[in-house]
Structure 1
Amino acid sequence: PKKLFENMSCDKNWEFIVLSLKSEYSNRQLDIPVGVMFSYKNAGGTYVPSFVGMDYDYAFEHQVYRQLLFQTVKRAGELGFSTIDFGMTAGFEKRKIGATVTEKVAYIQAKDNFPFEQLEIMGSKG
């Protein structure tokens, strides 16, 4: 929602890292944005990259996601943050830039096991 990004841009704790492709590397006459990382600076000393946006026409050829991760680490260091909370996905890419992956486990209790039994049956039919 547009209002969310407007509110984020007005809050001093949010930062937007925007990657642009120079015009000489695209078929356009202007530099074009190809990726953005929305990061939150929390009071506990942790830099939290929260949302990523990419133009998939350029994402693979120019390794936009990897560059966003690199620029995020660089920016957090410039600001003096000792911890970056990268979240739970793309562990392979994050390990390449020095992140430590912490395994997480969640337990749930259901009143009705039928849906879980159905999922187990579907999974074993592969």
Structure 2
Amino acid sequence: MNKKIVHVAVGVIKAENSVFICKRPDNKHQGGLWEFPGGKVERGESVFTALQRELLEEVALTIHSSTELLVIEHDYGDKQVRLDVHLLTDFHGEAHGAEGQQGKWVAITELDNYAFPAANVAIIEKIKAL
């Protein structure tokens, strides 16, 4: 049986040498781990439009533009995801966990000190290489 692939727009919000990360709620898939904010891409929606909608809801930022960073397909066993990862440096607002989740700015050099879902490892490697 084919698993449905969940298409997710992921925003790497970068300012200076830091990125903004959020902690996944304990009751969600991969709960308790840190992640880069984003969410599902709705049918007929572009990745950029999904990022604008999700990041306004999740971290209270207005996104003006984005740069495609990489695409990751990962099978967690119980769920398959396709992460469309974009770098965001052109935004307005003060990033915070707008849905009550924990969120913080972290130096890129400190990312290894945080636990992320397996699919995020490639994102972290890419960010460090920038």
Q: TM-score range by the shorter chain?
A: under 0.3
Give the TM-score normalised by structure 2.
0.25
Select the structure with the greater relative contact order (CA < 8 A; seq sep ≥ 6).
Answer: 2
> Based on CA coordinates, which of the two structures has the bigger radius of gyration?
1
More helix by share: 1
Give the TM-score normalised by structure 1.
0.25
